[in-house]
Amino acid sequence: MTVRPILIAGDPRLITPAAPVTVFDDELAAFVEDLFETLTAADGAGLAANQVGDPRAVFVYDLVDADGRQRGHVVNPVLETSAIPESMPDPDDLEGCLSVPGEWFPTGRAHGARVRGVDLRGDPVSVEGAGYLARCLQHETDHLAGRLYLDRLLGRNRREARRMIKQRQWTEPGRSWLPGVDPGMDDA
């Protein structure tokens, strides 16, 4: 298993929609293990393949919510949600991203979500949750659609995020960080 570098906002691979997985083999299984290893090293809740520069439609999640530990993976996910709020989110409803390290912004998400897809063998899988798990499922499927959570921000939060991107000079491709190695990035 390998901890992989995580791409930082500004890299075009993060805004390129993922390609459906068509080959279910040992290499895919090893890649998913690398995603879990990277997620653990980064102390995150979810990680999509394109965040480590891989174009395949797969993500992993590992988090603790009110229902306990939720851990798994979904290949070729399709998302369904309850209503998504269109108004300014509660200022305490913060969301972060391993590809936007160290930053948190109020982000409106549906309270409930379900993702359907397949597992490593190509067998059907469905993951459903509310609250934190629902947020994670929406966040990771957004990644695979080529969308960062920053794209969902509204009003002053969107303006603040744009200023932050310019200030950090995250406008050039190829920037990344390695969990467990790059100081100050693990708190993302």
- For residue 139, say whether it is annotated as part of any ligand binding site: yes
Report phi then psi at 60, rounded to 5: -120, 155
First to last CA, the chain: 22
What is the rounded CA–CA span in Å between residue 60 and residue 78? Answer: 14
- For residue 73, say whether it is annotated as part of any ligand binding site: no
Cβ-based neighbours of 166, under 8 Å, separated by 6 or more: none
Select which of 33, 140, 160, 172 is catalytic. 140
- For residue 111, say whether it is annotated as part of any ligand binding site: no
Active site residue 160: no
Which residues are documented as binding site for Fe cation? 97, 139, 143
Catalytic residue set: 140
Which residues are documented as binding site? 97, 139, 143
